[in-house]
Amino acid sequence: MVDAPAERPFVPVRFAVLTVSDSRTLDDDRSGDTLAGRIAEAGHALADRRIVRDEVAAIRETVGAWCDDPAVDAVLTTGGTGFTGRDVAPEALEPLFDKRMDGFSVLFHRISYDKIGTSTVQSRATAGLIRQTFVFVLPGSPGACRDAWDAILKDQFDYRHRPCNFVEIMPRLDEHLRRGKA
């Protein structure tokens, strides 16, 4: 008889949360509060939290700095994923992705469809890697942030989740840099 594998230990992840909004402040940022609360409830760390206007340069500057910061493992943005003229979060961040995570958007929309039906097509939620940092671009509603965290991110950022999770691959995200030129 084979022994059952030992329980994996919990490994906390350091998250930065960015709210993209022309009108929100930290006092009324319900979506940012939702993400920060869920990060803490799961036992992870909130490395930083900010609000920037719906401007490509401001979004890129903030997320880029976090992706260069070894104290940040993952970035969650909320807001700016719709179709209005000021919604520019995907335009700001997708060109910076070293690798796209198409499955995130597909799964997010499937989960969202169960909650809000065809209105999910109005979201351009996306995700990818910028350098070695996971970046998730979420809609600006607290409900969408709850759905993304509760149904996808909570498990994928829990080292104990099987069969696989983001935490176990984090140490290998830069192996192409360490390997050198082939």
In this structure, what DSSP letter does residue 112 have? H
Q: 19 CB contacts (<8 Å, ≥6 apart)?
A: 29, 31, 32, 49, 50, 51, 52, 77, 78, 79, 140
- Decide if pLDDT at 180 tops 70: no
Give the pLDDT of residue 7.
87
The average pLDDT across 5-31 equals: 93
Pairing relationship of beta strands 126-130 and 133-138 according to DSSP bridges:
antiparallel
How far apart CA 20 and CA 141 sit, in angstroms, is: 11
Domain 14-173 has CATH 3.40.980.10: yes
Domain boundaries, the chain: 14-173
Q: How confident is the model at residue 1 (pLDDT cuts 50, 70, 90)?
A: very low
What tens digit of pLDDT does each residue of 119-160 get?
A: 999 999 999 999 999 999 999 999 999 999 999 999 999 999
Residue with tokens 């003229």: 85
Give pTM, 2 decimals. 0.93
Give the pLDDT score at 175.
81
